Structure 1
Amino acid sequence: MRSIPAIAVVAIASCLAVATVTVSAADYTIPTYYDSFGSSASIAEPVLYQRHLDTLNRIFSYTIASNKASILAGRKVPDGTFAANVTGRISPFGRMKDLDDTMDYLYGSFGSNLDKALSLFPAITGVNISAFASTGAVAHANIEFTTKHPTTGATKYIRAQGMFRFADDQALSRVWLYDLYFVNMNAYFKEMWGSPSLYDMIGKACPAIRNVCGNDLNAPYPLVDCEVAFAFKKLGEAAVLADDNVLCRAFETNLVPLRKSVHCGNLGPSGGSRCTAFNYTRYFEPIGPSFTDIPSPSEPASRFNTYNEIKATVFNIYNLTIFPNNLEIISSGKVPPRTFSNNSGGRIWPIGTFENTEDTVEYQFGIFGSQNSSNVAAQLIPVIHEFTIHAFVQTGNIAATSIDYKMLNTFTKQYYPLRVQGFWRIEPDAWSVSAYDVHVQNTVPFFNIVGLGLPNGLTQPALAAVICISQETACKGANQVYGGSGQPQCFIELTTVKPFGDHDQVEADSIQCRSIHVNLAFFRPEVHCAHVGPTGGGKCVDLTYDSYFTLPFVKPFLYNV
């Protein structure tokens, strides 16, 4: 019987010993509480809820192509939207230091601002807030934008997760701090552009740069120097746009008409203030006070009780994901008290969607760190060491959270931050979760940092070897999925037939997806071995981009909906 090539075995050994980035807790621990009541203390919370929702609807209505011109031309936002001193972040575009940055990137990123520029993202034609919760002066929301494909005219949606702090007076609410994260950007970009090569994008970006910034000696790249300089840059990914790559500079050409001196500087060799090397750990530095607040002091005691009970439920779930708290749960398959209801379902993106409580419990507590000694694949997956509350709000039976995990690689003893953000629907009688929609953020840079640390040509065979060794141990007898030849057939399939995959969309017909499911095959081989096999078993299969926006078993995360 043939075995896995020796080079792959060597690669496995080297990936276990690779030097990795050390991240201290100080790099990403954020204050867990900030009481921002002032004049808003006398405003009833139902009033604040509606005002905050109205404010966000007003803010995002101006992203629609037919509405944004007045803001971009007049360089002024309507009252009841942003405070004059607003700051924040829009991922993947980066930090926003003031109102000018906010106007440029929120209202100028989608749709063309100049015919000669290069617009990577089409104009927005509609906006809908599909999830919302508010406590005190803080609100969380999911915003779904409608766009149209520039050539086919097909409707394409894109979602952003947002957290907002408001300044409230007796007349209006205004956002003065925000954190907006666009989800699934790699897949969205692929819907618009396909998979352009580096040289395809250079051929589009360099003429656009010369068109908008000129081609004299004061331009970012005089004459043909743009093509020469870009040939040594990486193409980049839409999910990590604010990076030293060609895609970032191509994107910035569309913003030049808004503030030429700023955005032409971002196009040059240095990258200016925007197109510089992405710093993953800096993402976890505070951009301001935390996005957590308590109910208004004017609210009755029952309101505080509900807030505390729901908060305890959600954070009990996160506490049980910590290693080794999770081991007994995934080994026994039992639902711990005060976690998930008997009919719970939802999504953990980019891992997958789960329609029943059994799957929910297994994936919530088993994705990271089973550390089974016979499971080679599990040894490469960091375990959850601890978590920090980054944000929490609650309205009725809807809660929204953002937490920072501290992940531990048990081989290298290195720590890595990882942020998870989302919405929860609670059954108040039992204080258990009936539905959830949570997203693991910045998975592209996270996996790049904690990955195998090997050259690109060796990463896929090394990971394939790990999966194949583990699946042969877990998937025996009736659960065998690669026939009698075992490892060799598996290795050939995963290195010549299946793609490596996209860190931004793990749920796909890829070896990345199989690296997750082989870990779970040790607990329920009759279910997960099929997911590791050639067909993907209904889990590791390619999905359409549009399927992300269809969760038939989960209602919108809006109070009383």
Structure 2
Amino acid sequence: MEEMHSVNSTLFAENIVGRVDDSRTFYGRELNTEYVFGSFSALGENSSSIISVLGVPVNHSTTQFATSGNNVSVTELVYFNITLVDYLVPVQINIWLSFDGDRKISAYDASFRWFSWLYDDLLKEFSARQGYGSDVTAASQDLKSGLIQQICERATIHCVGRNLQYNNSFECADMLFRKVRLGMSYEFGMNTILCRSLHALMVPLRPDIHCPHVGRTGGDMCVDDLRYQELATVDVVGTNQD
């Protein structure tokens, strides 16, 4: 929590580049502080009232660790409390990190292993709890509506003046429900409701930066400009691999 509100973590180098496989590449200390610490801290503060497929990390253990020079490879088994379905689930996160001469993280690449499988299970459980049985499509619409309500609440409160994205919450909800898809498990960095729900957590920290991410255009974060081949051939520092 302290790191999140600093918006300038001393763990990170100023020009850090970080990537999370189901989301995007984040550039700079401020953005990485917000998304690494802020996403889960904000959920933890309001875990009983926020709808989320991410959940709150409650404990972890290191299962694999290797280092060579200034590079570290580590596997963390993190247990998340996903209040959407009252689940406590293990998530394996594979992380590669590189440190600079000041022992600060200069780059990282994180992969949530089997997250698509977990996401499918969550939708099935949510569907059952909503009384839809195996009708995941209907449950997905309920989930989409709940996430949109949260996004629009934050946008209405924090995105005002020059940061205005919608004239009111009704306009916000109507536009998002009609024109933006919920999203697949790997689309937290695309033009989806899942992406906007992630960025909505950061809106109170820096509205001028994050309001466009929950708005009509998605800013430069929730947009459909990613392609599989590009992702597979670009490394964490953003250069094409030969």
Distance 2:5 2:205 in 1: 6
Size of the aligned set, in residue pairs, is 226
Contact 2:51-2:84 within 8 A present in 1 as well: no
For residues 376 and 517 of structure 1, do their structure 2 counterparts lie closer, same or farther at Cα, with a shift above 3 Å needed?
farther
For residues 399 and 495 of structure 1, do their structure 2 counterparts lie closer, same or farther at Cα, with a shift above 3 Å needed?
same
**Cα deviation, residue 401, structure 1:** 1.1
Contact 1:346-1:554 within 8 A present in 2 as well: no
1:276-295 equivalences under 5 Å are none
* Residue 544 (str. 1) matches residue 218 (str. 2): no
Partner-residue secondary structure (3-state), 2:40: coil
Distance 1:499 1:410 in 2: 23
Distance 2:48 2:211 in 1: 13
2:161 is aligned, of 449, 453, 477, to 477
* Residue 393 (str. 1) matches residue 92 (str. 2): no
Distance 1:479 1:415 in 2: 37
**Cα deviation, residue 431, structure 1:** 1.8
**Cα deviation, residue 537, structure 1:** 0.3
2:193 is aligned, of 502, 506, 511, to 511
Partner-residue secondary structure (3-state), 2:201: helix
* Residue 364 (str. 1) matches residue 47 (str. 2): no
Partner of 1:467: 151
* Residue 523 (str. 1) matches residue 197 (str. 2): no
Distance 2:47 2:63 in 1: 35
For normalisation by structure 1, the TM-score amounts to: 0.37
1:375-524 equivalences under 5 Å are 377=50, 381-409=54-82, 414-427=87-100, 429-451=101-123, 453-454=126-127, 455-457=136-138, 458-482=142-166, 484=167, 486-524=168-206
**Cα deviation, residue 461, structure 1:** 2.4
Distance 1:489 1:447 in 2: 29
Unaligned runs of 5+ in 2: 128-135
For residues 546 and 379 of structure 1, do their structure 2 counterparts lie closer, same or farther at Cα, with a shift above 3 Å needed?
closer
Contact 1:377-1:515 within 8 A present in 2 as well: no
Partner-residue secondary structure (3-state), 1:366: helix
Contact 1:350-1:507 within 8 A present in 2 as well: yes
Distance 1:500 1:412 in 2: 18
For residues 490 and 532 of structure 1, do their structure 2 counterparts lie closer, same or farther at Cα, with a shift above 3 Å needed?
same
**Cα deviation, residue 410, structure 1:** 5.3
Give CA deviations for 1:25-72 in whole Å, capped at 9, x if unaligned. Answer: xxxxxxxxxxxxxxxxxxxxxxxxxxxxxxxxxxxxxxxxxxxxxxxx
For normalisation by structure 2, the TM-score amounts to: 0.82
Code of the residue aligned with 2:117 in structure 1: it is: P
Partner-residue secondary structure (3-state), 1:367: helix
Partner-residue secondary structure (3-state), 1:453: helix
Distance 1:465 1:378 in 2: 10
Partner-residue secondary structure (3-state), 1:347: strand
Measured on the aligned residues, the alpha-carbon RMSD in Å equals 2.7
Give CA deviations for 1:85-142 in whole Å, capped at 9, x if unaligned. Answer: xxxxxxxxxxxxxxxxxxxxxxxxxxxxxxxxxxxxxxxxxxxxxxxxxxxxxxxxxx
Distance 2:147 2:178 in 1: 13
Give CA deviations for 1:382-421 in whole Å, capped at 9, x if unaligned. Answer: 2111111121111111111111111123577641111111
Distance 1:369 1:471 in 2: 19
Partner-residue secondary structure (3-state), 1:392: strand
Distance 2:157 2:113 in 1: 32
Code of the residue aligned with 2:137 in structure 1: it is: N
For residues 334 and 357 of structure 1, do their structure 2 counterparts lie closer, same or farther at Cα, with a shift above 3 Å needed?
closer
Give CA deviations for 1:253-292 in whole Å, capped at 9, x if unaligned. Answer: xxxxxxxxxxxxxxxxxxxxxxxxxxxxxxxxxxxxxxxx
Partner of 1:317: none
1:235-384 equivalences under 5 Å are 327-336=1-10, 339-371=11-43, 372-373=45-46, 377=50, 381-384=54-57
Higher Rg: 1
**Cα deviation, residue 426, structure 1:** 1.4
Distance 1:532 1:515 in 2: 8
Contact 1:369-1:379 within 8 A present in 2 as well: no
Distance 2:48 2:218 in 1: 20
Contact 2:53-2:119 within 8 A present in 1 as well: no
Contact 2:52-2:147 within 8 A present in 1 as well: no
**Cα deviation, residue 517, structure 1:** 0.4
Distance 1:513 1:411 in 2: 17
Contact 1:367-1:520 within 8 A present in 2 as well: yes
Distance 2:204 2:215 in 1: 14
Partner of 2:130: none
Distance 2:111 2:240 in 1: 16
Distance 1:552 1:374 in 2: 31
Code of the residue aligned with 1:402 in structure 2: it is: T
